[in-house]
Amino acid sequence: MTPTYVLDGRQIRTLEDFWRVTGEAINGPGGYFGQNLDAFADCLSGGFGTPDDDDDVIVWRDHQVSRRHLGYPETARQLEIRLSRCHPTNRPSVSAELAAARAERGTTVFDWLVAIFEDRAPGVLLLR
């Protein structure tokens, strides 16, 4: 039987919610499955709670709800956090991304997550 993990998009309003919902869907209550984009990509590569099996399926139900909440306002909020913590040499590029998000241009948090899924977990299904 193919392992299937279900994310409830109605519970995902922030990137922090995404980390929690994903961790619990895959590893149970309080479960960890990354708490930043790099760690999430690493977890999807295997060995962090899921078997190293290409047949695993992650279903993101109500992803359109998540898409709305993980849009430009949340992207700007995440980039503000990143800007406050990043190395000084990265500040110009993060500032440019932040300005774009505030102008509702460029990629969103939702787009970042989908790109990681596409790269590391082709078995993700986005369902309404």
The pLDDT score that the predictor gives to residue 53 is 53
Average the pLDDT over 112-119 and give the result.
92
Measured between alpha carbons, how far is 22 from 65 in angstroms, rounded to an integer? 15
Domains identified in the chain and CATH numbers: 1-71+108-128 (3.30.370.10), 72-107 (no CATH)
What are 34-68's pLDDT values in tens digits?
A: 899 999 998 888 766 554 455 678 899 999 999 99
Residues 21, 18, 59, 120, CA torsion sign: negative
What pLDDT was estimated at residue 51? 45
Q: Locate tokens 């993060």: which residue?
A: 94
If one compares 122 and 117, the residue with the highest pLDDT of the two is: 117
